[in-house]
Structure 1
Amino acid sequence: MSIKNNIEMVREELNSEEKFFEKAVITEKFIKKYKNLMIGAVVVLVVLVGANVAYSINKQSQITAANVALLTLSEDATNSEALLTLKSISPELYDVWVYSNAVAKKDMITMKELTNSSAIMVGDLAKYELAQDTKNAASLDAYASKQDAVYRDLALVQSAIILMSNSQIQKAHEKLSQISPQSSLNKIANALLHYGVK
């Protein structure tokens, strides 16, 4: 029985080696057939990873340079070189810097220039500042009529106060009633409706 068992073991071993070599030949054919495609895929992957790393490094260096320029401007607001650097690297951050200076100096000429800013909210805030500076109810109403106005409710309250001072009580009521109940200015509007405007 041992010879029969040995023969069976040898046969199984030969079958497994035959299968192994068969799979190796199939794998070799597959690799030869798709070699260029696999090399191309690896090259594309390496290029994409390299480009992503380069982009990240470049973006980080821009952020660092913008922060350095902003820090320089916070120490010396008259530094024109830092201002130009900030403008070229990050126009949105430049607009925020110019807006903050214009608010501090009440520079309405600069505010007018900032109304078309591409920076998030800077254009809207500049429009509010201009409307508020005119102390004109119509300007505040025009600002408040915009759907995405940040200070919509505040502009309505200011417009109502101007109308109250001009004895236009009914119009002031209309403005105050436009303030949403969820607004933080709703209590002020209600107080003006009940106590300030009769």
Structure 2
Amino acid sequence: MSLKDNIEMIRQELNSEEKFFEKAVVTERFIKKYKKAIIASIAAIVVLVAANIAYEANEKSKIKEANIAFSKLALNPSDTAALSELKSLAPNLHDAWVFSQAIANKDIEKLKSLKHTKALIVSDMAEYEMATDNSMLAEYASKQDAIFRDLALVQGAIMLLNENKIDEARNSLEKVSKESSLEKLVAILMHYGIK
């Protein structure tokens, strides 16, 4: 290596060290200028992570306690303490339990109490069951958001056929959705039941 190459190499090393120190000074100034904001951001992240961990632990605990209360109810359906604990821990599961007991005991009053529950499926199932008991299936099926609409239409049509109201039964069956899983049953009823 020549002396000229050595000097050039030393100059490049000094330039790179100078740039490194320059960046270090800029970084140090940045940290000093925004020190409080950086510390606050780190503290906020730590608090959010801790709060999230605590929330998840609390939710798991509530689920475990709700399962224990549900198990107690399965063993003893008349356990009012377990029922109230289930209602406070998991209202939707509570409503599902009350619905199952109302169906098992044919308790229309409990079904009426579930009509406005926040558990959408339980609410709709309660309305459907009340409609079948009161022969108000057509009214239930006319609701826009009825989950069991097609089933109510078919069941209502069968009741109309039993009363020999053929035209009304046909009208009811024609309202059943073509994509319904009951379409084959509707086709059979239209072919054999309504002539």
TM-score (norm 1): 0.91
Of all paired residues, the percent bearing the same amino acid is 52
Question: Which residue of the partner structure matches residue 174 of structure 2?
Answer: 177
Kindly report which structure 2 residues correspond to 1:101-140, keeping only aligned pairs within 5 A, or say none. Answer: 101-134=101-134, 136=135, 139-140=136-137
Post-superposition shift, 1:51?
1.0
Question: Which deviates the most, 68-77 or 178-187?
Answer: 178-187
Q: Which runs of 4+ in 1 moved over 6 A?
A: none
Letter in structure 2 aligned against 1:179: V
* Stretches of structure 2 lacking an aligned partner (at least 5 in a row): none
Measure the CA separation in 1 of the matches of 2:163 and 2:30.
88
Task: Count residues with an aligned counterpart.
Answer: 195
Query: Alpha carbons of 1:192 and 1:15: their partners in 2 closer, same or farther (altered >3 Å)?
Result: closer
Letter in structure 2 aligned against 1:126: A
The one-character-per-residue Cα deviations of 1:27-82 (angstroms, maximum 9, x if unpaired) are: 11111111111111101111111111111111111111111111111111111111
The one-character-per-residue Cα deviations of 1:74-98 (angstroms, maximum 9, x if unpaired) are: 1111111111110001111100000
Question: Which residue of the partner structure matches residue 49 of structure 2?
Answer: 49
What's the C-alpha RMSD, in Å, of the aligned pairs?
Answer: 1.7
The one-character-per-residue Cα deviations of 1:155-185 (angstroms, maximum 9, x if unpaired) are: 1122112222222211111111111222222
Measure the CA separation in 2 of the matches of 1:124 and 1:67.
24
Kindly report which structure 2 residues correspond to 1:18-97, keeping only aligned pairs within 5 A, or say none. Answer: 18-97=18-97
Measure the CA separation in 2 of the matches of 1:16 and 1:190.
85
Post-superposition shift, 1:146?
1.3
